A and B are shown apart, each in its own frame.
Chain A
Amino acid sequence: DAGVTQSPTHLIKTRGQQVTLRCSPKSGHDTVSWYQQALGQGPQFIFQYYEEEERQRGNFPDRFSGHQFPNYSSELNVNALLLGDSALYLCASSILSGTGFPQPQHFGDGTRLSIL
């Protein structure tokens, strides 16, 4: 049973460019969340997708956008890259729990994005 897979594992871009990161959720999961983890920090919530719509969003500018496909996989797009966007980008999947307590998220190993 494959867990959460992310691609690519590493990426180098220059300022002003655009980037797309990809995520396949764990089998059976319907919800995908994206996080940014800067060096020495905890993961920061970017947004969450369910049924192909953005359902929750953290404090990130509109340069960060996403998409979820009918097969539940997801993309994170970042436009007009800044040096400060250099970080590990983590994708996490889970099952939407409705009104109950949240189901724990399963994380991929991340994409390391470096901006030159």
Chain B
Amino acid sequence: DQQVKQNSPSLSVQEGRISILNCDYTNSMFDYFLWYKKYPAEGPTFLISISSIKDKNEDGRFTVFLNKSAKHLSLHIVPSQPGDSAVYFCAASRSGGYQKVTFGTGTKLQVIP
């Protein structure tokens, strides 16, 4: 049962344009969502998060949007840079105490110079 889904395995974007990565979830108990970036041969690196009490969170070039009614979140990267080329994982968990984080299958972003 894939509770967190990233339906686009890959995405190519021109440098300077916007990258939009999408994620859907099925478990309505999830109330905390994260995006991680992963380069080859490295572990995932935390990028940005959002809690269910918000519908938007920004950090520099990165913005995450949450639509609770649609159980959908997206990550916007503006402007995209070649160094952003990586695999992006969407993840979800519940608040309070010990966290069991559920990851999506990832979207490989390629930013073309």
B is a partner of A: yes
Whether a CB of chain B sits under 8 angstroms from the CB of A71 is no
Map CB proximity to A onto B3-19 as digits: 1 under 8 Å, 0 otherwise: 01010000000000000
- Docked complex Cα distance between A35 and B51 (Å): 23
- Docked complex Cα distance between A107 and B46 (Å): 9
Q: How many A-B residue contacts, CB cutoff 8 Å? A: 75
Interface of B is mostly: loop
Report whether A43 and B99 are in contact in the complex, using a CB–CB cutoff of 8 Å: no
- Docked complex Cα distance between A52 and B81 (Å): 42
- Docked complex Cα distance between A15 and B101 (Å): 29
Contact of B46 among A40, A55, A90, A105 (CB under 8 A): A105
Within 8 A of A (CB), among B63-113: 89, 91, 93, 95-106
Contact of B43 among A31, A42, A56, A108 (CB under 8 A): A108
Whether a CB of chain A sits under 8 angstroms from the CB of B26 is no
B66 to chain A, nearest CB (A): 13
Report whether A107 and B43 are in contact in the complex, using a CB–CB cutoff of 8 Å: yes
Residues of A in contact, count (CB < 8 Å): 32
Interface residues of B (CB under 8 A from A): 4, 6, 31-32, 34, 36, 41-46, 49, 51, 89, 91, 93, 95-106
Having A33-B99, A43-B44, A98-B96, one finds 9 other A-B pairs with CB under 8 Å, namely A45-B100, A45-B103, A48-B100, A90-B43, A99-B97, A101-B51, A107-B36, A107-B43, A109-B42
Interface residues of A (CB under 8 A from B): 4, 31, 33, 35, 40-45, 48, 50, 55-56, 58, 90, 92, 94, 96-102, 104-110
